[in-house]
Amino acid sequence: MMASKEYLETLAPTRLAVVCQKVAENSSNAQTVADAAILKTEWSRLQTPQSLSLKKEHEMDAKLRDLRKRMVDFLVGHDELDFYFQ
C-alpha cells in the first residue's frame, strides 16, 4: 500500500524531509536517490537560522511551502514508503 498524497500533505515538512532522506539512503533507483537527496539538501539549507527582514521571512516561507509541495509530489507513488510509516 502506497502513502496517499492526502496523507503526505498532513505531515510536517521535517517528517517529509526525513522520509526523503530515507528514500535517498535506501532506494535502488539512482534517479530516485538523486531526487530525494536534492529535496532533503534544499530543506536543510532553508533551516539555517538567519536574521531576516519581514520581506525575506515571507520569501523564505514561500520557498518552504513550495519545497513541501515538491516533497509531497515526489513521495507520492513510492510504495517503499509504507516501511517508514509503520
What DSSP letter does each residue of 31-55 carry, written as one string? HHHHHHHHHHHHHHHHTS-----HH
The pLDDT, as a whole number, for residue 3 is 75
Total number of domains in the chain: 1
Q: In the predicted model, is pLDDT for residue 21 greater than 90?
A: no
What CA–CA distance (Å, rounded) separates 42 from 3? Answer: 22
Mean pLDDT of 4-10: 88
- Look at residue 80 and tell me whether its pLDDT is greater than 80: no
Task: Write out pLDDT tens, residues 28-79.
Answer: 889 988 998 899 889 888 886 667 788 888 888 899 999 999 999 988 877 6
Helices (H), 1-86: 5-10, 13-26, 30-46, 54-75
> Where in the sequence is the domain holding 22, given as residue range(s)?
5-85
